[in-house]
């Protein structure tokens, strides 16, 4: 969630990618998170925790570290 807050900063693209992106913008109303393996379960956890995320791509998520949340139905799967 801190990363989402960071990319919402006014000068994020310019500061990260350089001056050629000074006038670029991100569509922050349609955030998508994705990940594979541990990143897949992290993407699911981020989606549950942050309502700004509109879609998730979770490839082969590694559920072991989050089995309690998964077993309780918190992830909705």
- Tens-place pLDDT, residues 17-66: 888 888 888 888 999 999 999 899 889 889 989 999 999 999 988 776 66
Give the integer Cα–Cα distance in Å for 55 and 28: 12
Structure tokens at 16: 């990260």
Is 0.75 topped by the overall pTM?
Answer: no
For 38, other C-beta atoms within 10 Å of its C-beta total: 14
List the chain domain ranges.
Answer: 2-71
């Amino acid at each position: 969630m801190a990363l989402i807050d960071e990319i919402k900063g006014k000068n994020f693209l310019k500061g990260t990618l350089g001056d050629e992106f000074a006038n670029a913008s991100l569509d922050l109303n349609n955030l998508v998170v994705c990940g594979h393996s541990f990143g897949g379960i992290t993407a699911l956890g981020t989606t549950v925790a942050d309502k700004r995320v509109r879609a998730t791509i979770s490839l082969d998520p590694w559920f072991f570290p989050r089995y309690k949340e998964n077993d309780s139905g918190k992830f909705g799967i």
